Amino acid sequence: MTQAVGAGLRTVAVVSPEVAGRLAFELWRRPLRRGKVRATELEVHRKARVDIVDGVVTYAWGDGKRPVLLVHGWRSRASRFARFIEQLVDLGYSPVSYDAPGHGDSPGRAGTILDHERIINQLATQYGAFDGVIAHSLGVPFALYALRGDVHAERVVTISGFAEFGYLADAFCRGLGLTARTNQALRRRIERKLFGGDPEIWTKYSVAQGDIDLLSIHNDEDDVVDPAQAPILLSRYGDRATYRQTNGLGHRRIMIDPDVVAEAVAFVRNSDVAERLDLGA
């Protein structure tokens, strides 16, 4: 289906890149499918306390102490963090997450980075400062932007994340084989329709210099987010950042890999590197 959509948009772009950009925008802001709760996630999903915050479905586990925010990516949902949630709860943390607008069980269309900032702010007001944040894919720039404001967290783990806001448009166009002219038309449409015509969004919403301990985990075979985004992200956090490269896991299996889960949870715990694969410590 992706190939057919790309071919159709390329045909339109020959006549009018602007029209192709408009059509690309409508596709860009709508997940073509919603992530469903998988059988392996069902038990954890059912244990959550479910609420509605700012029109989206939110989830909480644990006793409310030591909250840890989990932010999912595109076409995903909160339940994808099931393995992280199990370990965090066992260690006395209280994971908090949400299905993004237009994702999972939340209604509507996909939200912007500002919508996510508002939702995360409300969760922070409800649960207090976070002991940690773990974000995956598109959830990474959303979470890091919220942390530039009033949201506080002790430590952050980014998994398969990217730093440049423009990567959203670039990767979308590259995946459909669209031209640079169509990319520019898409970008102008995003600026006008979602951000009041502000042409500075590509800089404004890229990951900025951060003053928090950060662990970045990325895979060498990620076919969704280019691993080249990892060093850009790391450069924004300098000496506060640690990098872990994984091999052969791709963009999705990285979320269920036992070593990745252990490393991320141990980083939130502020454990020594030697302890990160031994959660019994």
Strand locations in the chain, DSSP E? 49-53, 56-60, 67-71, 94-98, 130-136, 153-159, 213-219, 241-246
Residue 266, domain extent? 36-164+207-275
pLDDT at 105 over 70: yes
Q: Specify whether 2 is located in the same domain as 90.
A: no
Distance separating alpha carbons of residues 94 and 200, to the nearest angstrom: 37
Q: What would the mean pLDDT of 16-20 be, rounded to a whole number?
A: 67
* Contact present, 6 and 23 (Cβ < 8 Å): no
Phi, psi dihedrals of residue 245, rounded to the nearest 5°: -95, 135
CATH code of the domain covering residue 226: 3.40.50.1820
Write out the two tokens for 78.
Answer: 């909160």
Dump pLDDT digits (tens) for 137-175.
999 999 999 999 999 999 999 999 999 999 988 988 887
Question: CA nearest 215: which of 266, 262, 267?
Answer: 267
Q: How high is the pLDDT of residue 16?
A: 66
Q: Specify whether 220 is located in the same domain as 96.
A: yes
Q: What would the mean pLDDT of 102-115 be, rounded to a whole number?
A: 91
Q: Specify whether 19 is located in the same domain as 55.
A: no
Q: Specify whether 180 is located in the same domain as 212.
A: no
Specify if 237 maps to a domain: yes
- List the single range of 136-150, 169-183, 190-204, 219-233 with lowest mean pLDDT: 169-183
* Contact present, 119 and 51 (Cβ < 8 Å): no
Question: CA nearest 127: which of 210, 59, 74, 183?
Answer: 59
The tally of domains found in the chain comes to: 2
Q: Specify whether 179 is located in the same domain as 85.
A: no
Specify if 280 maps to a domain: no
Phi, psi dihedrals of residue 136, rounded to the nearest 5°: -125, 135
Q: How high is the pLDDT of residue 179?
A: 86
Give the CA distances from residue 231 to residues 117, 137, 167, 242, in Å, rounded to whole numbers and listed in that order: 24, 15, 14, 10
Specify if 16 maps to a domain: yes
